[in-house]
Every structure is written in C-alpha cells, then in structure tokens.
Amino acid sequence: MFRPLYTNRLVNEKSPYLLQHAHNPIDWYPWGEEAFVAAKEEDKPIFLSIGYATCHWCHVMEEESFSNPDVAKFMNKTFVNIKVDREEMPEVDSLYMEFAQAIMSGGAGWPLNVILTPDLMPFFATTYLPPETGQGMMGLRSLSNRIDEIWKNPEEREKVVFQAGKIVEVFASSIQVGGNELPTQDQIGEAANLLFKMADPIYGGTKGVPKFPIGFQVGFLLRFVKKTADSRALFYVERTLDMMHRGGIYDHLGGGFSRYTVDERWQVPHFEKMLYDNAILARSYLEAWEFTRHHFYREVCQEILGYISREMTDEQGGFFSAQDADSEGEEGQYYTWSKQELEKILDGKFSLFSAYYGVTPGGNFGGRNILHTPLPIDEFAKERGIDTVSMKKEIDTLKSKLFEVREKRGKPQKDDKVIASWNGLMIYSFAEAGRAFHSKEYLSIAHKAALFIKNVMWKDEILYRRWRGGETRFEGCLDDYAFVISGFLSLFEADLGTEWLKLAIEMSLVLKREFKSGNGAFFLTKGQDPSLLIRRCEFYDGAEPSGNAVHAENLFRLYQMTGDIDYKNQMEDILKGAKDHIAMYPPGACYHLMALQRYYDTSAPTIVIALNEEEQYAHEIARIIAGSFIPHKSVIWRHEGDGELLRLISGTLDKVPAEGKTTVYLCQKGVCREPLTELSKIWEALERL
C-alpha cells in the first residue's frame, strides 16, 4: 500500500486542486481563520497560492517546486502557506488577481502566488516559480530567503507593510457601484466599430496571442447585425466560429473546446476543457444557427452538448467543472496522434484522413499531430471531385474509428466539482438548444441539472457555490445567483414549469436584499466575510461574463415576464454603474452591451401562449418560435389551471384563451396586440419579429 511521505491539512478538503497538494512537504492551510491566526501568532507573512485543478502550469509548479522538500523547508520557515482553489472561492481569487495585475503591471495569471501581511494585505505577486533561480527567473527558495530577510529587518518590513496598506487603500477608493446616466445607444455602435478594428480578418477572433474564444463578443455582434444588417458583424461572427472549429482548439473526435491557443490560428491549445467555455460556445453556435440556418453550426452545438452529457455530467444531474490538459504524464497526449499510429489504425484510408486533418510526419506538437482542418469540408470534397455529403460520411466513419481507439487511452483527470454558476450557464444552453432543436433529451438534461441545484445547492434562501462528494459548501457569489437565474428563466420559457420562474424570482429577491448597493449595481459578495479586504463590484467580463451584466439581462427578462417595473429599475441601476466601464473598454463589457441592446430594443416581445384545455397548437407554436432568431423575446406558456403563474405575473400579461381556443398574444412595452387564434396568423406574426 502506498504511504505518502508527507500529509498536510489539505487532505481534509474536497477540492481536487487542493487534494493535488495534500501530500506536499509544504505545511499548507486552506483559506480560513486557522491560517490567519497562525500568521499573527507566529508573526509570519502569508504565501497565498491560487490555482485550479486543470491548470497546466499549476501542475508543473506542484511537481517541480511544491513537492521539493528542500524548498518546503524554507517556505515553512518563512511563511504561513495557504492554498486556494479559485473555482471554489472566486471572491478571493478576483480580489488578489486585481492586486497582482497592478503589482505586476498586468502580467498575472495562474498559478497566482501572492505574499500578504498577516492582515491579508498584498505586497508581492508572481505566477509560476521554479524551485531554484535560473534562466532569468527567481526561484522559490531564493524568494523565501529574500522575504525572510525583509520581514526580519524592521525598516524594510515597515516599508512593505506601508506599501501594502496603500495598495488596498487605492483599490478601496476606486470602487464604483453606480452612476447617474444610462449608457447611450451610440455606445453600442462605437463598441462594434472598435471590435471590427481589433478583429483578425484571417483567423477570426481578435488579433494577438494567446487567443481565447470569447462567446459574448459573438452574441453581441449577432444582435448588432440583427438590428443594423451590418455585414461586417456577420463576417466577424462566421469567420470566428468557422476558424475556431477548424483549429486544434476544437476536439474533432469528441466535441468541445479547449481553454485557449498559444497561436493566432487556433491550432495549438493548452488542452484543458472548461465547463463554462463550452456552455458559452454552445450558445454561440446555437445562436449562429438560429440566425444563419447553416447546418454546420447546429452540428457543432450538438457535438459540444454531446461531449458534456457523455463526459461531464454527474449521475445526479450536475455538470462537472473541467478536464485536464495532461494524461499519462504528458500535455495533450490523449488528444494527439503520431503519423504511425494513424497509418496503423486507418490503413488504406490514412491518406484521405491525413490530408483532411493536416497530418504530417513531424506533427505540429512535439512530434505528434493536433487534428485540424486546413480546408472546409466542402472545398476539400470539391478538390477531390466528391460530393460533400459523401465526403462527410466517409470522414465521420474514420472519426468514429479513431474515437473508439482514443477511448481506450488513459483519460485526462476530471475536476468533478459541481459549480453553481457554471451549471447555470450550461442549463441555459441545454434548455435553449432543447427548445430550438425540439430535443426532449436536451430539455431533460437541463431539467435534471436544475433539480440538482434546487434540491442540493439551494438551502434556506442561500445558493451554495460548490458541491463535491456529498458536500455542499461556500455561499454563492453574484455570479452563482445570476447565472442560475438565467438558466432557470430559460427552463420556464421552454415550458418546463412555473416553479423555475418562481425560483428565479426568489433568487433575484435575495440578490436585491443581500448584494445590491442602494441605487447602484450589485456587489460580488454579501459583504459579511471580514477576511475580504474590499467588497468588490465587477462590471467587466473575464473568462466568464460579468455577473452584473447577466443579472441586468435577467432583470429585463423578469420585467418582460411579470410587468413589474422594479425589475427594470434595478437593471437601469446596473447599466448606470457600467456606463463608464463600457465607454473605457467596450470589448471587455460585451455582455453588458447585450443587456443594453435588449433594453433599447423597443420591439422586444413578450410572447404569451394561452393554451386551451386540449393544448391545441402547442407543438406547432413551439416550432414556429424556434424557427427564428429573436434574441430579446420572453415566452410565457399559460396552461389551464396554473394558479401559481397567475400569482407571479401582473394583470397585463394575465391572458386567457379566446373563445376556448389556444391564443397567442404579442406584447411590447406592456401593451398587447389583438389575440391570435388561427395558426396561419400566429405564424405570420411571429415570423415578423
């Protein structure tokens, strides 16, 4: 039986990331009072290290530096050492990441290592550190020695403590939660024009490396082209989605996208797959299909959702957080192929496959090949004089054969935490895809995940952030509530029950009561944790959309559904707070811009379907609604005898079947048009939206 040489306090945690460090010789603490007390009693600075389970360089630092007994001696002597899983405690991560970006002039990332005073004020920050100094990088041993010298020298210590206090003071004074004016409609066009200037016209996305897929930009520009018919926006969207799919960032055999690529062509990724990326990108491809009706976009969306349902779904319904980049000790080993492997497996079909997927003897990743498609399949088929349908069928057969072989490899480690916010994003995508594709399977998956959130992670009007191994822990942040509300509203609109509207309203009341700043926007946290030096209010999108932005959209959806003007007023408070941030850097606020587009869309419809007892035309109306890209709609399915719904919506939207027939009401700005009972007229009216 294997007996580790070292065990520290992290062995009692549930986080896979923390458990990866549970047998380091470093005397790690989890974030909490025990560590804070130890730092003060022992008069030591704190070494705060933040990462996540599927972070490649976090693995490297754990193996090279944190597992080194000699380094550990110096760290244990100098510091109280704290480990944080950024996915469990985003409020801690975002706070110290912002500090680090200021200290490091914008170069921060993960693993994030910050040195704090015992009062938790930061005075030094860095990312990856090798064990020893060399090749222009300070080693962890040298850093420990230098910090020890500073801390034991009264004058130097006084300077760093003073500087740390100033850093906190500056950030505390710069927090903005509200404003006096709404963003103007002009800011929408200005943002689009700036994105066009930043666009990579060859490979899509924005210019520069590393290259991240940013689905909110796609969503914003699809709405922009819907309103303005600006062809530049559609070109940006299609070029980005097409080239991302053709690149190595996409898993051509199993579906799903990696986190980012290190090159401009989307070809060489770090291979970790994150739930939130794939939830957002499933939505992007879904909306692109709704707008263009290009079948290819539908297929990519379905492949992403297939990957999630196959690999990333707990038997109880929740969605797992991530998959690692590494397997069998090597980054990308699971996803890449040598030419010899492919020749052996594919035999006489190797030549066709290798030409389509850009396979070369030397490969494009350490002697191995990351599959990518230099040409779209229709162009590839045309070059060979074969029709596209036949070519696709042939390629799909070969892909299936390789997938079966790959399934026998050692799979990348899975971070099986269930994170409320990311589950909210995924519930939204499954619900919207289920509605759009008329898929009972997708709707069932979304519904089961939502039931898991409701039954396991929502307790006594508190939404908890993380579940793993039977343990629910960490009170949710704004993002958790906002993203889950968004998913629940989509379940309601997909006609999966009034309970989801009711829960969305209950959670929005918690946000208003516990998170809102007077007449301003919403704070990230409730503000009850004394270990957080600053109560932050965030407006910019990061890897995930801004919680304030998503909730602004939620609030307008609730206003459309219920007619309650308070929801619109709350949305306006958020937009006023976001105004200066949008003006300062529009590409960082694309989800706010999406909410702003909804706010200014005077034709944004609420579609009320009052079903008669036989629920006549229910299926047909659902198909008609799914047949168009109507991004600012809200949908209410009113069933006979649904008293709960009548209690939740105002009299304005309390519509009944006319003359016993299923009736559709199109309402805008709280005013409804004449009732429609004939299917042909319903179709005509919905087509015009």
- Length of the chain measured in residues: 689
Percent of the chain with pLDDT strictly greater than 70? 99
Q: How large is the average pLDDT for residues 409-415? A: 93
What whole-number distance in Å separates Cα of residue 59 and Cα of residue 599? 44
**Quick check: 1 pLDDT over 60?**
no
Query: What is the pLDDT at residue 651?
Result: 67
Query: What is the pLDDT at residue 104?
Result: 83
Note whether 541 and 549 are within 8 A (CB).
yes
Which sequence spans correspond to the domains of the chain? Answer: 9-173, 335-406, 606-687
Q: How large is the average pLDDT for residues 29-50? A: 97
Query: What is the pLDDT at residue 641?
Result: 85
**Quick check: 329 pLDDT over 90?**
no
Determine phi and psi for 552, rounding to 5 degrees.
Answer: -60, -45
What whole-number distance in Å separates Cα of residue 560 and Cα of residue 573? 17
**Quick check: 183 pLDDT over 70?**
yes
Q: CA torsion 648→651→655→658, rounded to 10°?
A: 150
**Quick check: 2 pLDDT over 60?**
no
Least confident of 102-106, 213-217, 381-385, 579-583: 102-106
CA angle centred on 417, ends 413 and 423, rounded to 5° = 115
Tell me which of 669 and 143 has the higher pLDDT: 143
- My answer on whether omega of the bond before 111 falls inside 30° of 0, hence cis, is yes
Query: What is the pLDDT at residue 204?
Result: 95
Per-residue pLDDT band at 532 (split at 50, 70, 90)? very high
Query: What is the pLDDT at residue 234?
Result: 97
Determine phi and psi for 257, rounding to 5 degrees.
Answer: -110, 145
Burial of 125 (0-12, 13-18, 19+ CB in 10 A): buried
Per-residue pLDDT band at 337 (split at 50, 70, 90)? very high
Query: What is the pLDDT at residue 174?
Result: 86
Q: How large is the average pLDDT for residues 180-207? A: 96
Note whether 83 and 30 are within 8 A (CB).
yes
Read off the pLDDT of residues 232-282 as tens digits, 9 standing for 90 and up. 999 999 999 999 999 999 999 999 999 999 999 999 998 999 999 999 999
Query: What is the pLDDT at residue 76?
Result: 97
Mean pLDDT of the chain: 94
Read off the pLDDT of residues 371-401 as tens digits, 9 standing for 90 and up. 999 999 999 999 999 999 999 999 999 999 9
Read off the pLDDT of residues 628-655 as tens digits, 9 standing for 90 and up. 899 999 999 999 888 888 888 876 677 8
Tell me the helix, strand and coil percentages in the chain, rounded to 5: 50, 15, 35
Burial of 471 (0-12, 13-18, 19+ CB in 10 A): exposed
**Quick check: 107 pLDDT over 80?**
no
Per-residue pLDDT band at 288 (split at 50, 70, 90)? very high
In sequence order, the β-bridge partners of residue 313 are 319
Per-residue pLDDT band at 672 (split at 50, 70, 90)? confident
What whole-number distance in Å separates Cα of residue 477 and Cα of residue 463? 8
Q: How large is the average pLDDT for residues 160-185? A: 92
**Whether the predicted model's global pTM rises above the 0.85 cut:** yes
SS3 468: strand
Q: How large is the average pLDDT for residues 320-337? A: 92
Query: What is the pLDDT at residue 300?
Result: 98
**Quick check: 305 pLDDT over 60?**
yes
Q: How large is the average pLDDT for residues 335-339? A: 96
Rounded to whole angstroms, what are the CA distances from 5 to 9, 13, 68, 71, 130?
14, 19, 12, 15, 22
Query: What is the pLDDT at residue 286?
Result: 98
**Quick check: 3 pLDDT over 80?**
no
Residue environment code for 401-438, b if the CB has 16+ CB neighbours within 10 A, otherwise e: bbeeebeeeeebbbbbbbbbbbbbbbbbbbbbbbbbbe
Q: Does domain 9-173 have CATH number 3.40.50.970?
A: no
Query: What is the pLDDT at residue 233?
Result: 97
Residue with tokens 């779209």: 376
